């Protein structure tokens, strides 16, 4: 029998699946893979039931239902003063993951270089490699997880095609400052790059942090793909409904890929998410309060256990330094925790290509019920 394709030969099982499997095997508290262990809002689940009852049982238009594209357009306008035309500029995808894949496939030719800021969300590099491109990492250095303009410059070459930025940032919980984004904008414009701005955690902000979509900056709208997902905003990761927003020419290229990857997205969920987005203004404050309480509870617990790090201002992750506890690598320590302490986490070295800084950290997901967080802290006592 012939071999399967070379393009996947170097891939490994995703760290999220690996850690969730280990959590099940060891009956460990799972603070690894990023998803809430509680359901999304009851009112939105009811809306989804109604949508199924009403029909919506056939294929949606391939670029997404008009209702959802209109609501996406309307929230970008009201929250960020960004104008995305629902007909030409918005494509609904199977979560942000498919949005990233379709965008990268639409933009990257074999040999093209894509600058990624590490630690990165793992699907970026896999998608770049499947397109035949090369991921060029720039390391975000702890404790602020910053990059400098000269580090970005050192990564640029005549083959640079794109830069991918994630804000708020998984796994560090960093919310990028406006001045830092201005530096990235200068760099992207100077090298005439396409830009993916992965903003799936756009509403997971704490302590008054502000989210600045990259497309808002002068010279950025025309080059930026803004990607987000209802999975994070409504705490319903299983609904897998996301979107890519970009001007018509860029969106057209994404749609050409999307039509052959998935064609269209689950119709009743699109209808439900559209109604959900209509209630953002009432919903977001309670959503942020819920997650802020979880962050504070878990952060207090970890600091009492002797972990020392700045409180993250966004996302539902904490990137926790482990060097005052162990000299083991993140992978060794994560294995010890899941087997002996019955707590599953993610070893962040999976999110780096170049630096080994990730070996001195563990990523914890705090999108969990208080009883789950309490059980994890109890298991970690005496470390």
* Residue 242 in the binding site for ligand PMP (CB under 6 A): yes
**Distance in angstroms (rounded) separating the CA atoms of residues 340 and 17:** 20
Q: Which is nearer to ligand PMP, 73 or 93 (CB)?
A: 93
Q: Least separation, in Å, of the C-beta of 170 and ligand GLN?
A: 5
The CB-of-121 to ligand PMP minimum distance in angstroms stands at: 4
DSSP 13: -
How many whole angstroms from its chain centre is CA 185?
20
Tell me how crowded residue 38 is: count the other CB atoms within 10 A of its CB.
12
Which residues neighbour 300 within 8 Å (Cβ) at sequence distance 6 or greater? none
8 Å CB contact between 333 and 347: yes
How many chain residues are in contact with ligand GLN, going by CB under 6 A?
5
Who's near 293: CB < 8 A, 6+ residues apart? none
Give the footprint of ligand GLN on residues 164-193 (CB under 6 A): 170
* CB 369, min distance to ligand GLN, A: 17
Alpha carbons 335 and 342: distance in angstroms, whole number: 10
The verdict on 312 binding ligand PMP (CB under 6 A) reads no
Q: Is 380 in the site for ligand PMP (CB under 6 A)?
A: no
- The secondary structure of 241-309 as a DSSP string is -EEEE--HHHHHHHHHHHHHHTSS--HHHHHHHHHHHTTHHHHHHHHHHHHHHHHHHHHHHHHHTT---
CB of 156 to ligand PMP, least distance (A): 23
Asked if 113 is part of the footprint of ligand PMP (rule: CB under 6 A), the reply reads no
Q: Taking the complex as a whole, how short is the minimal distance between the CB of residue 203 and ligand GLN, in angstroms?
A: 15
Contacting range for ligand PMP; rule: CB under 6 A; set: 46-54, 93-101, 135-143, 183-191: 93-101
Residue from 30, 33, 102, 228 in contact with ligand GLN (CB under 6 A): 33
> Does residue 119 belong to the site contacting ligand GLN (CB under 6 A)?
no
Give which of ligand GLN, ligand PMP, none residue 231 binds (C-beta under 5 to 8 Å, depending on kind).
ligand PMP
Task: Please count the residues of this chain forming the interface with ligand PMP, following the rule CB under 6 A.
Answer: 13
- Residue 2 gets which letter from DSSP? P
Under rule CB under 6 A, residue 96 binds ligand PMP? yes
Report in angstroms how near the CB of residue 272 gets to ligand PMP at its nearest: 15
DSSP state of 186: H
Work out which of 16, 62, 79, 309 binds ligand GLN, going by CB under 6 A: 16
* 231 lies in the binding site for ligand PMP (CB under 6 A): yes
Q: Which of 18, 26, 30, 34 binds ligand GLN (CB under 6 A)?
A: 34
Cβ neighbors of 232 (< 8 A, separation 6 or more) are: 200, 201, 203, 204
Q: How many CA atoms lie within 13 A of 311 on its CB side?
A: 16
Query: Nearer to ligand GLN by C-beta: 98 or 271?
Result: 98
Q: Which is nearer to ligand GLN, 73 or 226 (CB)?
A: 226
The one of ligand PMP, ligand GLN, none whose footprint includes residue 166, by CB under 5 to 8 A per kind, is ligand PMP
Please give the helix or strand (H or E) that residue 231 lies within, else none.
helix 230-233
Indicate whether 79 belongs to the interface with ligand GLN (CB under 6 A): no
Min dist. Cβ of residue 365 to ligand PMP (A)? 10
The nearer residue to ligand GLN, 253 or 269, going by C-beta atoms, is: 269
DSSP 317-335: EEEEE-TTT-SS-HHHHHH
Cis ω on the peptide bond leading into residue 119 (within 30° of 0)? yes
Contacts of 356 (CB under 8 A, 6+ apart): 349
Q: Tell which positions 158-217 bind ligand PMP, by CB under 6 A.
A: 166, 170, 198, 200
Binding of ligand PMP by 229 (CB under 6 A) = yes
Contact, 320 vs 307, CB < 8 A? yes
Give residues in contact with ligand PMP (CB under 6 A). Answer: 34, 95-97, 121, 166, 170, 198, 200, 229, 231, 237, 242
Give residues in contact with ligand GLN (CB under 6 A). Answer: 14, 16, 33-34, 170
């Amino acid at each position: 029998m012939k071999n399967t394709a070379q393009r996947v030969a170097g891939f490994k099982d995703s760290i999220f699946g690996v850690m969730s499997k280990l959590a099940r095997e060891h009956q460990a508290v799972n603070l690894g893979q990023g998803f809430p262990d509680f359901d999304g809002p009851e009112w939105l689940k009811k809306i989804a039931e109604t949508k199924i009852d009403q029909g919506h049982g056939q294929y949606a238009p391939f670029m997404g239902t008009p209702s959802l594209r209109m609501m996406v357009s309307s929230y970008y306008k009201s929250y960020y003063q960004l104008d995305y035309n629902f007909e030409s500029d918005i494509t609904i995808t199977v979560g942000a993951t498919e949005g990233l894949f379709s965008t990268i496939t639409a933009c990257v030719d074999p040999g093209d270089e894509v600058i990624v800021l590490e630690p990165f969300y793992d699907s970026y590099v896999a998608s770049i490699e499947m397109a035949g491109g090369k991921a060029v990492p720039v390391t975000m250095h702890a404790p602020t997880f910053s990059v400098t303009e000269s580090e970005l410059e050192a990564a640029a070459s005549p083959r640079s095609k794109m830069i991918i930025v994630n804000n708020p940032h998984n796994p560090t919980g960093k919310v990028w400052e406006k001045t830092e984004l201005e530096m990235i904008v200068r760099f992207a414009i100077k090298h005439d790059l396409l830009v993916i701005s992965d903003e799936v955690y756009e509403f997971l902000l704490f302590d008054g942090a502000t989210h600045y979509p990259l497309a808002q900056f002068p010279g950025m709208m025309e080059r930026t793909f803004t990607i987000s997902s209802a999975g994070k905003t409504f705490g319903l990761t299983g609904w897998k409904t996301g979107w890519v927003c970009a001007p018509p020419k860029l969106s057209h290229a994404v749609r050409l890929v999307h039509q052959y990857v998935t064609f269209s997205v689950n119709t009743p969920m699109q209808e439900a998410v559209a109604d959900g987005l209509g209630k953002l203004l009432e919903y977001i404050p309670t959503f942020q309060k819920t997650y802020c309480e979880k962050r504070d509870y878990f952060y207090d617990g970890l600091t009492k256990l002797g972990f020392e790090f700045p409180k993250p201002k966004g996302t539902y992750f904490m990137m926790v330094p482990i060097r005052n506890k162990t000299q083991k690598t993140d992978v060794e320590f994560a294995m010890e925790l899941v087997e002996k302490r019955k707590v599953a986490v993610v070893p962040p070295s999976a999110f780096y290509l170049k630096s080994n800084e990730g070996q001195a950290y563990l990523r914890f997901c705090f999108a969990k019920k208080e009883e789950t967080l309490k059980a994890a802290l109890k298991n970690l006592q005496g470390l």
